[in-house]
């Protein structure tokens, strides 16, 4: 059976996004520089540059690049919240960097939106469970990534359906923003450490459900 997993970047003080991160206000509290510092590790990876952003050949190879490749190849469907979609709609290239069906949790009614390269956004109005059911159907034997934002990840953690957490912990401090681990019910799911891969720009942590 396919697995449900989270794969995100995180600041050292536990934030997924800096305060005020909106494409409409790029200068607010210098959020762009903060987010860029947190995610700097991935932009030089060969697989990310060549296959997800389509920037052309080049980039770093090695264990971190292998990790990026294996993560992207396991994904059969993505789930995200409306806030994350709204930010990305104006920022992603025409060939959005997912290449799978993407299920967007929203109250908005909208027809599916297909992009070049295999990404189709589906807008789901009837809850987390239905989005996950549809994602499982389309993913087949591949896995489902809960892409974000933090509140969506928290809701799926509270449902008890997340099997794995993959976190790239960057040595940057935000001070404020959207925390990953808030609003969790007790008792929460239990995880064990499965893998640690360190690099100068991030420590890559993988936790699996006990």
Nearest residue to 155 (alpha-carbon basis) of 122, 138, 131, 134: 131
Q: What is the mean pLDDT of residues 76-87?
A: 94
Q: What percent of the chain has pLDDT over 90?
A: 76
**Of the ranges 43-52, 87-96, 201-210, the best mean pLDDT one:** 201-210
Structure-block tokens of residue 189:
């799911």
Residue 97 φ/ψ, nearest 5 degrees: -80, 50
Could you tell me the residue range of the domain that residue 193 belongs to?
4-209
Which positions ≥6 away from 133 have C-beta within 8 Å? none
* pLDDT(65) > 70: yes
* pLDDT(175) > 90: yes
pTM of the model: 0.92
Question: What is the separation of C-alpha 126 from the centre of its chain, rounded to a whole number of angstroms?
Answer: 22
Rounded to 10 degrees, the C-alpha dihedral 138/142/148/150 comes to 120
Exposure b/e, 114-133, CB count within 10 A at least 16 = b: ebebebebbbbeeebeebbe
pLDDT at 114: 95
pLDDT averaged over every residue in the chain: 92
SS3 category, 88? helix
Q: Please tell me the total count of domains within the chain.
A: 1
β-pair type (143-148, 4-11): parallel
Q: pLDDT tens digits, residue range 118-152?
A: 999 999 999 999 999 999 999 999 999 999 999 99
pLDDT at 26: 67
pLDDT at 52: 72
SS3 category, 94? coil
> How confident is residue 56, by pLDDT bands cut at 50, 70 and 90?
confident
Residue 52 φ/ψ, nearest 5 degrees: -105, -45
> How confident is residue 23, by pLDDT bands cut at 50, 70 and 90?
low
Q: Strand (E) positions, 12-67?
A: 15-18
pLDDT at 27: 64
Q: What is the mean pLDDT of residues 97-103?
A: 95
Q: What percent of the chain has pLDDT over 70?
A: 96
Q: What is the mean pLDDT of residues 168-189?
A: 93
- For the domain that residue 145 is a member of, what is the CATH number? 3.40.430.10
Q: pLDDT tens digits, residue range 25-43?
A: 766 777 888 999 999 999 8
70/55 Cα distance (integer angstroms): 19
């Amino acid at each position: 059976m396919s697995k449900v997993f989270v794969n995100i970047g995180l600041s050292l003080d536990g934030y997924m996004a800096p305060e005020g991160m909106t494409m409409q206000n790029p200068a607010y509290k210098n959020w762009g520089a903060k987010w860029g510092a947190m995610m700097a590790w991935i932009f030089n990876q060969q697989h990310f540059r060549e296959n997800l952003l389509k920037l052309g050949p080049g980039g770093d190879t090695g264990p971190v690049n292998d990790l990026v490749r294996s993560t992207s190849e396991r994904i059969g469907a993505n789930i995200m919240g409306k806030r994350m979609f709204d930010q990305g709609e104006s920022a992603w290239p025409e060939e959005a960097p997912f290449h799978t069906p993407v299920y967007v949790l929203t109250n908005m009614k909208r027809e599916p939106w297909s992009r070049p390269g295999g990404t189709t956004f589906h807008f789901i109005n009837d809850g987390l469970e239905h989005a996950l059911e549809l994602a499982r159907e389309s993913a087949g034997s591949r896995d489902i990534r809960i892409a974000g934002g933090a509140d969506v990840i928290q809701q799926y953690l509270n449902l008890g359906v997340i099997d794995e957490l993959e976190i790239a912990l960057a040595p940057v401090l935000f001070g404020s923003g959207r925390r990953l681990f808030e609003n969790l019910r007790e008792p929460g799911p239990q995880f064990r450490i499965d893998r640690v891969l360190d690099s100068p720009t991030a420590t890559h942590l993988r936790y699996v459900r006990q």
